[in-house]
């Protein structure tokens, strides 16, 4: 599931029984112990946790006021004066997740979600975000900001066109806005002669006094044994696409596409193994634009051997202009370029093709402005689909990575089950009953959302090829689980409560694959309503995961399969149902997805794609439920083949049990029960060889056949 950026802060403290610990900037960083009766301990802890968040927002309010005032001053002094300033979430590459330095929207608004857009006018400040973050945004935004709910309120372009004055000037940093977005806004502004103004500097950078420095991390070569395809092969296929489009070259802006095409990785963005870099590829040359301090002599040699010339990151702007005018020249030092050929000299491209390919969704408006708009091909990058179609080596690596990940998740559940029983007197994973809260545990360290998620990370870190998490773990108890992209922090997180639902959505980066799994569990006595909701989510999860569908089907058409069981009871969820997953790359990978949103119609699902299956249900202030597996799309062997289309099906590669006591068996049909038993049998067979005897015994019990 898509997740917030940021590293967790560790909280390790031993708290006496019947005390709750508070440690927050709201208390000047001091640790405070409050004695409270155990039966209301969790309820009060959650209330105080929410209270602390509100206090922190209030503490930020003065800083926010200063920031907004400084930005408005820059807007007024600009020529022409700006009526509004747009602060998007994206960086220069239109990335979903960005480095600390690029979290400009978070800095100005205080909202920490991964998706959103801030708009600052002379008198207002508004924040647009989607349904995943409505609850979180209401908790994090100060009263200086108004939340705009995407899908319910007017879109930002419509709001600006309707509410800003005639001939208004709206400022943007053109490096942080895509071609698609800029052109959409320009069309919306035309009716009132409003104009989009490209600022020469980023205003937020000018007022952000303690802005983190740019990341200077080494570029890493991703070995062929994990990549599965050579750079030469990838560039050959890319160049064939370029020629087919009568183009001179292509500008590659998306960080994961640059990493995939050149078989490199990095650590410039937390949880995403990418490098801040652009690329340009032509019919006989290839360039990488990156801070050269990140490139060791060994990596430099590797790139040159693959015909890739390394240039400074900022040179991409001038080189795009040279590409547009057919003056971009490769260096004679790079192997495999035109300059190396006899009489090649140092000439630019010799071709009749004069078009430049730029992906309007990932290429920024600043680079587009360096091109002749009449000579630009605005269509999705061919690398997006090529990357999504996993090769056999990548598929094998993903499956192996998910086995190791499943082992870690089972080990975590075994540990958490034991802790819940020993510390809290919980009935545990298998039995139903309220926790007794043992009185003799006078000096036991209590569990929190952060300490348990740290334990899960520890289990993963012990596995082969582990390189870090693929996103910050969503570790959420009770009401916090209703915050779809909740990210706990040590100072304000809730204590673990065995009598409440616990949802954990997590994943890891391994050299051979990226993982993403969600499970929802209860270590006490779940209510009948919680069971019914969990079962509806599980039925939707099975309904989608067992689907067969013809070639050409897109994710928008399949999204309903996960929602029908919830709809029958008048329930639903506000996020999409599935996203692609990278191969030691971004945990969110397009161009395909399974969603109710219209852009899920753009790309059909195809053999060898990965996609998640993750329906959910959330009740604000009470609980949240989500179940998620990663699937691989395979050919289906059907009895018939209507229209000679060929049919497809899903293969589950995530392995971890579903909790029996959260399932209302009366709501399952025989086929669903059979699927669960078959899946559990595979979990047991696949994971048991990597577990110790006690863990095997736990898994055997968790995967026992269920009968009605």
pLDDT digits (tens, 9 = 90+) for 216-272: 999 999 999 999 999 999 999 999 999 999 999 999 999 999 999 999 999 999 999
pLDDT tens digits for 564-588? 999 999 999 999 999 999 999 999 9
Q: Label each residue of 239-258 as H, E or C.
A: HHHHHHCCEEEEEECCHHHH
SS3 label, residue 506: strand
Neighbouring C-beta atoms of residue 311, cutoff 10 Å: 18
Read off the tokens for 656: 């971890």
List the one residue out of 645, 398, 622, 436 whose CA is nearest residue 529: 622
**What pLDDT is stored for residue 586 in this prediction?**
98
Superfamily for the 220-330+353-388 domain: Creatinase/prolidase N-terminal domain (3.40.350.10)
CA-CA distance, 475 to 461, in Å (whole number)? Answer: 17
pLDDT, average across residues 8-25? 37
Residues whose CB is less than 8 angstroms from the CB of residue 361 and which lie 6 or more positions away in sequence, other chains included: 94, 178, 179, 180, 380
Mention every residue, 6+ apart, whose C-beta is less than 8 A from residue 286. Answer: 235, 262, 279, 280, 306, 307, 308, 309
Residue ranges, comma separated, of all CATH 3.40.350.10 domains in the chain are: 54-207, 220-330+353-388
Tell me whether residue 322 is exposed, middle or buried, using C-beta atoms within 10 angstroms of its C-beta: 0 to 12, 13 to 18, 19 or more: middle
Query: Is the predicted pLDDT of residue 612 greater than 50, yes or no?
Result: yes
Q: By C-alpha distance, which of 618, 295, 363 is closest to 474?
A: 618
pLDDT at 53: 58
Give the whole-angstrom CA distance, residue 216 versus residue 218.
7
Burial of 680 (C-beta count, 10 Å sphere; 0-12/13-18/19+): buried
| CATH annotation of 392-430+445-703 | 3.90.230.10
Q: Is the peptide bond before 13 cis (omega within 30 degrees of 0)?
A: no
User: For 322-337, what is the mean pLDDT?
Assistant: 82
List pLDDT tens digits, range 162-187: 999 999 999 999 999 999 999 999 99
Confidence (pTM)? 0.89
CATH superfamily entry for domain 54-207: Creatinase/prolidase N-terminal domain (3.40.350.10)
Pairing of strands 647-652, 31-35: unpaired
Q: Is the pLDDT of residue 64 over 60?
A: yes
CB-CB neighbours of 9 under 10 Å: 12
pLDDT band at residue 285 using 50, 70 and 90 as cut-offs? very high
Q: What is the pLDDT of residue 4?
A: 35
Residue with tokens 């392995």: 655
The tens digit of pLDDT for each residue in 435-445 reads 776 544 444 67
Q: CATH 3.90.230.10 spans which residues of the chain?
A: 392-430+445-703
Q: Are 478 and 522 in contact (CB under 8 A)?
A: no
Helix/strand/coil for 469:
strand
Token pair 């709501």 is found at: 667
- How high is the pLDDT of residue 38? 40
d(CA 217, CA 29): 31
Q: Read off the tokens for 561.
A: 């399969």
On the question of a cis peptide bond just before residue 80, with omega within 30 degrees of 0, the verdict is yes
| Residue in 155, 204, 208 with CA at minimum distance from that of residue 175 | 204
- What gap in Å lies between CA 44 and CA 481, rounded to an integer? 17
Residue 487 CA, chain-centre distance (Å), reads: 13
> In the numeric block, which tokens belong to residue 603?
């790309």
CA distances from 417 to 338, 524, 549 (A): 63, 10, 39
8 A C-beta contact, residue 488 and residue 4: no
């Amino acid at each position: 599931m898509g997740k917030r950026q940021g590293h967790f802060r560790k909280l390790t403290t031993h708290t006496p029984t019947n005390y709750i610990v508070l440690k927050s900037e709201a208390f000047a960083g001091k640790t405070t112990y409050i004695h409270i009766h155990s039966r209301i301990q969790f309820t009060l802890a959650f209330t105080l946790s929410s209270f602390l968040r509100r206090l922190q927002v209030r503490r930020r309010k003065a800083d926010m006021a200063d920031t907004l005032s400084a930005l408005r001053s820059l807007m007024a002094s600009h020529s022409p004066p700006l009526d509004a300033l747009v602060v998007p979430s994206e960086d220069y590459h239109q990335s979903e997740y960005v480095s600390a330095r690029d979290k400009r929207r978070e800095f100005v608004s205080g909202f920490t979600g991964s998706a959103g857009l801030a708009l600052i006018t002379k008198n207002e400040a508004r924040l647009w975000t989607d349904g995943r973050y409505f609850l979180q945004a209401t908790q994090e935004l100060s009263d200086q900001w108004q939340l705009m709910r995407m899908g319910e309120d007017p879109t930002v372009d419509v709001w600006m066109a309707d509410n800003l004055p005639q001939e208004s000037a709206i400022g943007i940093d053109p490096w942080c806005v895509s071609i698609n977005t800029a052109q959409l806004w320009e069309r919306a502004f035309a009716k009132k002669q409003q104009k989009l103004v490209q600022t020469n500097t980023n205003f937020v950078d000018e007022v952000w006094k303690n802005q983190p420095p740019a990341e200077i991390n080494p570029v890493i070569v991703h070995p062929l044994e994990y990549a599965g395809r050579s750079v030469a092969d990838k560039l050959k296929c890319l160049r064939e696409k370029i020629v087919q489009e009568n183009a001179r070259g292509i500008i590659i802006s998306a960080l994961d596409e640059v990493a995939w095409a050149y078989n490199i990785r990095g650590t410039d963005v937390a949880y995403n193994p990418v490098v801040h870099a652009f690329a340009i590829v032509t019919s006989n040359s290839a360039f990488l634009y990156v801070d050269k301090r990140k490139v060791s002599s060994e990596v430099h040699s590797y790139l040159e051997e693959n015909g890739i010339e390394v240039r400074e990151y900022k040179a991409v702007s001038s080189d795009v202009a040279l590409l547009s005018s057919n003056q971009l020249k490769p260096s004679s030092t790079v192997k495999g370029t035109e300059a190396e050929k006899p009489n090649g000299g140092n000439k630019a491209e010799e071709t009749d093709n004069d078009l430049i390919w730029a992906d309007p969704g990932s290429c920024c408006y600043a680079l587009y402005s360096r091109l002749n708009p009449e000579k630009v091909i605005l269509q999705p990058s061919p690398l997006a689909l090529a990357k999504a179609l996993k090769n056999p080596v990548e598929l094998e690596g993903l499956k192996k990575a998910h086995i190791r990940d499943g082992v870690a998740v089972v080990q975590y559940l075994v540990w958490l089950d034991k802790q819940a029983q020993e510390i809290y007197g919980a009935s545990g994973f298998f039995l139903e009953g309220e926790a007794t809260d043992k009185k003799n545990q006078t000096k036991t360290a209590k569990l929190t959302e952060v300490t348990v998620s740290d334990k899960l990370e520890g289990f993963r870190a012990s596995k082969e090829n582990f390189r870090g998490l693929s996103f910050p773990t969503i570790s959420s108890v009770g009401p916090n689980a209703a915050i779809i992209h909740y990210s706990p922090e040590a100072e304000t997180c809730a204590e673990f409560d065995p009598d409440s639902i616990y949802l954990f959505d997590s994943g890891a980066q391994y050299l051979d694959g990226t993982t993403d799994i969600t499970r929802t569990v209860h270590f006490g006595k779940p209510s009948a309503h919680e069971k019914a909701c969990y079962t509806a989510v599980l039925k939707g999860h099975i309904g989608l995961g067992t689907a067969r569908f013809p070639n050409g089907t897109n994710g928008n058409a399949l999204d309903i399969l996960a929602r029908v069981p919830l709809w029958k009871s008048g329930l639903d969820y506000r996020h999409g149902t599935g996203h692609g997953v990278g191969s030691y790359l971004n945990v969110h990978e397009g161009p395909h997805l399974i969603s109710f949103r219209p852009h899920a119609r753009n790309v059909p699902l195809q053999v060898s794609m990965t996609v998640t299956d993750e329906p959910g249900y959330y009740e604000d202030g009470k609980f949240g439920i989500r179940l998620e597996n990663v699937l691989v799309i395979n050919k289906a062997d059907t009895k018939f083949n209507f229209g000679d289309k060929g049919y497809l099906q899903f293969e589950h590669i995530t392995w971890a049990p579903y909790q029996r006591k959260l399932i209302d068996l009366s709501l399952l049909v025989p086929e669903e029960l059979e699927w669960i038993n078959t899946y559990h049998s595979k979990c047991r067979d696949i994971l048991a060889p990597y577990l110790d005897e006690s863990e095997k015994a736990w898994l055997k019990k968790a995967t026992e056949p269920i009968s009605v």
